[in-house]
């Protein structure tokens, strides 16, 4: 229950970023920072995947600094522009000309502004007006000269929309490609404009095809998309790149495409694409909610960018362009001169030529490789967000730090990989910032929870158990701190009592400081063994140490661990004695009692002092068994319950005894070694001892003495064999009662 509670808390904490992400996607808690991050991720991916190759089909005729130096400041006289147009079509035989410029005002060199002032101020002086008109008539012919150069040729003019105050208009708009009345009541959510600057009537009539060259930057001022259609006065007009593409393809009709209508419920009134239809052929161009398309930039832009060939307009006018460079090409007339204010901030450059923006869209339309933000982008983001969030929220709490990092990186890689595959393989620009941020927050929160909350639990556990439990057990407990407490409970445990023999005699010959140093040395070395084998120190009592196994961390082999510890403690005392003998000091001995059984373990004591300890009848028996080590001349005495749960050791039964406070006789044993260390000699000795013990319990004193004599010849120093030989002599003198069961009763502790 505790473990589930802890895991549930971590899952709940891990779900918080997912909840925030869902609210953002649903628009209930929009976060602009995520949108900006999505834009930055899109920009980075766009830069990494640009082809950076030259497209020979489209050429930019550049009104560059050299052209302005040779021809003059812009705008040029219209007859010079006409010369440029004639040169492109007659000398270089281009296929199409798109003009990223607008001629909304009469040619300044024609003197038409002065004519307008005369018309306003001096109309009452008709002779003066007529004279001025005669003087300016040659200049007026320059606009007609440009119109004649445009007429009958595949030219797409440019114009712009504006939302300036006053809704100012200039020039004549081309015919719209759609009207609101064509939509059958549906919506077409294009950008809306109140004003415009278009071409003079004389030019518009000569070249009726035109497209706007507006680009709508994002909130950060970066141009990532351009609208294909824009609305003005209830009519819809096409962009320059779309108008040029239609001109190349024979002017197909423009139709908005809406999703299939459901059989019931509301209609889908927002288009998902713009279709170009001509006869039986149709091309669908995916658009966003503003009828805009993402610009698939090919490279860094400009004459040195390598995406499009740039030709100086002055070279065209002066005949310096090689004859085979432009025939059959689509030409865009524009400028890279900073002073003409057609440089824009884009994902691939901070001063990107506006004319190349249209060139990128045009070539993408020609190749049919537009990048789309589909109408289901939010649904896609929601699904990916939920899948990634749920995997992390339920997976991270189950894992350690290294595995959690691995899972988080795998989720990151899956989200980025899927998004990139859809982008490169299918031209879909889908959001992923929300999912990545959610995944990062989930990881950070989960790790922080583990570090802050669980480290606090570790500190608390260390304070509670640090003086009793080995540090490695504390670390194990910290993985699930809710499963451990100081509350008392009954468990099957194994308890150990270790008492130093001869301590009183040694204490009489040593100063207190020397005695303290001896105790510290012995207890430190014995405690190290207890902790090494996952034991819990209960207390130190004078020259005695008490420990137990199986709590607070449960262990199925607590008896075996305790027996192994007892054997190593006896070996450690032997090593200490060798050191003392080298220093001409008296030996010390230990007696160790072991018992396994049900005990009450927990935090016990008074309001003044409490400790984590074990109590119960099984504990008392363990203490009594420690006292019997002196009687049987062994270092370790263990109950039969401990022997049964530690079958990997070689045991020698000592006796059946009734200790003080126990009416029931219990078998006691001493562990000799691990079974894999049993020698043939020891095996024979144990068989001989078993026969002696059986003869003892049958009261067959002669046979018992015979076996004991054999054993004493094999191991003359063993106290156990001498003890039983003395007992046999005593029994012969004073035979036992008729109800004697072969056990020995001890009335003292």
Choice among 290-294, 426-430, 477-481, 693-697 with the minimum mean pLDDT? 477-481
Q: How far apart are CA 202 and CA 144, in angstroms?
A: 7
Residue 263: predicted pLDDT: 53
- On whether the CB atoms of residues 454 and 3 are closer than 8 A, the answer is no
Tell me the three-class secondary structure of 519-540, residue by residue: HHHHHHHHHHHHHHCCCEEEEE
CB atoms within 10 A of CB 523: 18
Q: Strand runs (DSSP E) across 444-525, as ranges? A: 489-501
Per-residue pLDDT tens over the stretch 10-23: 788 888 888 888 99
Q: How far apart are CA 650 and CA 677, in angstroms?
A: 9
Check residue 171 and give left, alpha or beta (phi > 0: left; psi -120 to 50: alpha).
left
Per-residue pLDDT tens over the stretch 358-401: 999 999 999 988 888 887 888 899 999 999 999 998 888 888 78
Phi, psi of 492 (to 5 degrees): -85, 120
Q: Residues with Cβ < 8 Å from 59, sequence gap 6 or more?
A: 94, 308, 309, 310, 311, 325, 326, 329, 330, 331, 332
Question: Looking at the predicted structure, is the pLDDT value of residue 502 above 90?
Answer: no
Phi, psi of 195 (to 5 degrees): -130, 170
- On whether the CB atoms of residues 204 and 171 are closer than 8 A, the answer is yes
Query: How big is the CA angle at 588 (ends 655 and 502), to the nearest 5 degrees?
Result: 70
Question: Does the reported pTM lie above 0.75?
Answer: no
Q: What secondary structure letter does DSSP report for 52? A: -
Q: How far apart are CA 353 and CA 341, in angstroms?
A: 9
Q: What is the band of 130 on the pLDDT scale with cuts at 50, 70, 90?
A: low
- Mean pLDDT, all residues of the chain: 87
Q: How far apart are CA 668 and CA 567, in angstroms?
A: 16
Residue 46: predicted pLDDT: 93
Q: How far apart are CA 211 and CA 228, in angstroms?
A: 9
Q: Which helix (H) or strand (E) holds 670?
A: strand 666-674
Residue 690: predicted pLDDT: 96
Residue 3: predicted pLDDT: 44
Residue 512: predicted pLDDT: 84
Scanning the structure block, which residue is given the tokens 């950060």? 220
485-677 maps to which CATH number? 3.30.70.1230
Q: How far apart are CA 722 and CA 709, in angstroms?
A: 9
Residue 523: predicted pLDDT: 92
- On whether the CB atoms of residues 495 and 546 are closer than 8 A, the answer is yes
Residue 473: predicted pLDDT: 62
Query: Which of 677, 605, 610, 670 lies closest to 643, judged by CA?
Result: 670
Q: How far apart are CA 411 and CA 17, in angstroms?
A: 15
* Mean pLDDT confidence for 245-252: 93
Q: How far apart are CA 212 and CA 195, in angstroms?
A: 12
Higher pLDDT, 262 or 211: 211
Q: What is the band of 337 on the pLDDT scale with cuts at 50, 70, 90?
A: very high
Distance between terminal CA atoms of the chain? 43
Residue 455: predicted pLDDT: 63
Per-residue pLDDT tens over the stretch 306-330: 999 999 999 999 999 998 999 999 9
Choice among 170-179, 549-558, 623-632 with the minimum mean pLDDT? 549-558
Question: Looking at the predicted structure, is the pLDDT value of residue 505 above 70?
Answer: yes
Question: Looking at the predicted structure, is the pLDDT value of residue 668 above 70?
Answer: yes
Question: Looking at the predicted structure, is the pLDDT value of residue 535 above 70?
Answer: yes
- On whether the CB atoms of residues 414 and 406 are closer than 8 A, the answer is no
* Mean pLDDT confidence for 121-143: 56
- Is the dihedral angle over the CA atoms 298, 301, 303, 304 positive or is it negative? negative
Residue 513: predicted pLDDT: 85
Structure token digits, residue 357: 């923006």
Q: How far apart are CA 658 and CA 668, in angstroms?
A: 10
Higher pLDDT, 186 or 744: 744
The fraction of the chain above a pLDDT of 90, given in percent, is 60
Q: How far apart are CA 621 and CA 746, in angstroms?
A: 12
Question: Looking at the predicted structure, is the pLDDT value of residue 642 above 90?
Answer: yes
Q: Residues with Cβ < 8 Å from 424, sequence gap 6 or more?
A: 49
Higher pLDDT, 507 or 365: 365
Choice among 6-10, 491-495, 619-623 with the minimum mean pLDDT? 6-10
Query: Which of 667, 535, 670 lies closest to 593, judged by CA?
Result: 670
Structure token digits, residue 442: 């989930």
Residue 107: predicted pLDDT: 82
Q: How far apart are CA 9 and CA 7, in angstroms?
A: 5
Q: What is the band of 4 on the pLDDT scale with cuts at 50, 70, 90?
A: very low
Q: How far apart are CA 743 and CA 737, in angstroms?
A: 12
Q: Give the burial class of 358: count Cβ atoms within 10 A of its Cβ; 0-12 exposed, 13-18 middle, 19 or more buried.
A: buried
Per-residue pLDDT tens over the stretch 715-744: 989 999 999 999 999 999 999 998 898 899
Q: How far apart are CA 439 and CA 444, in angstroms?
A: 9
């Amino acid at each position: 229950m505790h473990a589930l509670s802890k895991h549930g808390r971590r899952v709940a904490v891990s779900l918080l970023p997912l909840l925030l992400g869902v609210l953002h996607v649903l628009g209930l808690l929009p976060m602009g920072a995520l949108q900006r991050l999505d834009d930055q991720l899109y920009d980075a991916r766009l830069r990494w995947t640009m082809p950076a190759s030259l497209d020979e089909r489209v050429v930019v005729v550049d009104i560059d600094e050299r052209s302005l130096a040779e021809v003059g400041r812009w705008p040029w006289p219209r007859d010079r522009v006409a010369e440029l147009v004639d040169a492109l079509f007659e000398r270089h035989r281009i296929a199409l000309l798109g003009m990223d410029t607008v001629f909304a005002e009469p040619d300044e060199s024609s003197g038409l502004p002065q004519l307008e002032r005369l018309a306003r101020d001096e109309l009452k002086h008709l002779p003066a007006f007529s004279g001025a008109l005669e003087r300016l008539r040659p200049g007026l012919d320059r606009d007609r000269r440009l119109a004649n150069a445009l007429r009958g040729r595949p030219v797409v003019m440019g114009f712009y929309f504006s939302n300036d105050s006053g809704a100012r208009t200039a020039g004549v708009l081309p015919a719209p490609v759609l009207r609101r009345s064509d939509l059958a009541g549906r919506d077409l959510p294009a950008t809306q404009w109140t004003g415009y600057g278009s071409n003079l009537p004389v030019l518009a009539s000569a070249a009726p095809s035109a497209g706007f060259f507006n680009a709508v930057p994002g909130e950060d001022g970066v141009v990532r998309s351009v609208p294909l259609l824009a609305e003005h006065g209830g009519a819809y007009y096409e962009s320059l790149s779309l108008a040029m593409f239609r001109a190349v393809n024979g002017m197909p009709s423009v139709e908005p495409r809406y999703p299939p209508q459901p059989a019931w419920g509301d209609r889908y009134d927002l288009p998902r694409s713009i279709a170009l239809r001509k006869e039986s052929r149709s091309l669908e161009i995916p658009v966003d909610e503003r009828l805009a398309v993402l610009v698939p930039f090919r490279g860094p832009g400009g004459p040195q960018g390598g995406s499009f060939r740039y030709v100086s307009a002055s070279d065209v006018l002066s005949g310096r362009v090689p004859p085979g460079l432009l025939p059959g090409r689509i030409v865009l007339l524009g400028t890279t001169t900073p002073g003409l204010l057609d440089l824009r901030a884009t994902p691939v450059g901070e001063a990107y030529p506006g004319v190349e923006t249209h060139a990128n869209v045009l070539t993408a339309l020609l190749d049919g490789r537009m990048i789309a933000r589909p109408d289901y982008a939010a649904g896609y983001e929601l699904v990916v967000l939920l899948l990634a969030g749920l995997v992390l929220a339920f997976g991270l709490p189950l894992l350690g730090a290294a595995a959690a990092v691995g899972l988080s990186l795998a989720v990151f890689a899956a989200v980025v990989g899927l998004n990139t595959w859809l982008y490169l393989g299918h031209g879909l620009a889908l959001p992923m910032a929300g999912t990545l941020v959610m995944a990062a927050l989930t990881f950070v929160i989960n790790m922080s929870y583990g570090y802050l909350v669980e480290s606090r639990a570790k500190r608390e556990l260390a304070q509670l158990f640090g003086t009793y439990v080995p540090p490695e057990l504390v670390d194990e407990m910290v993985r699930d701190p809710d499963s451990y407490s100081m509350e008392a409970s009954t468990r099957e445990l194994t308890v150990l009592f270790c008492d130093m023999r001869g301590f009183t005699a040694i204490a009489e010959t040593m100063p207190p400081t020397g005695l303290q140093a001896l105790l510290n040395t012995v207890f430190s070395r014995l405690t190290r063994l207890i902790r090494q084998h996952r034991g819990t120190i209960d207390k130190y009592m004078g020259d005695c140490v008490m420990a137990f196994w199986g709590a607070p961390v449960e262990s199925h082999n607590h008896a075996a661990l305790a027996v192994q510890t007892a054997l190593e403690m006896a070996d450690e005392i032997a090593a200490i004695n060798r050191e003392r003998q080298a220093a001409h000091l008296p030996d010390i001995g230990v007696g160790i009692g072991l018992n396994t059984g049900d005990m009450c373990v927990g935090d016990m004591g008074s309001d003044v002092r409490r400790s984590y300890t074990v109590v119960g009848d099984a504990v008392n028996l363990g203490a009594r068994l420690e006292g019997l080590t002196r009687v049987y001349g062994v270092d370790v005495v263990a109950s039969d319950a401990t022997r049964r749960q530690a079958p990997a050791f070689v045991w020698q039964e000592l006796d059946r005894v009734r200790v003080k406070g126990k009416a029931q006789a219990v078998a006691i044993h001493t562990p000799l070694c691990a079974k894999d260390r049993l020698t043939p000699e020891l095996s024979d000795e144990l068989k001989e001892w078993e026969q002696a013990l059986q003869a003892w319990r049958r009261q067959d004193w002669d046979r018992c003495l015979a076996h004991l004599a054999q054993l004493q010849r094999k191991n003359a120093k063993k106290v156990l064999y001498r003890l039983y030989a003395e007992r046999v002599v005593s029994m012969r003198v004073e035979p036992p009662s008729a109800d004697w069961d072969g056990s020995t009763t001890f009335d003292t502790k």
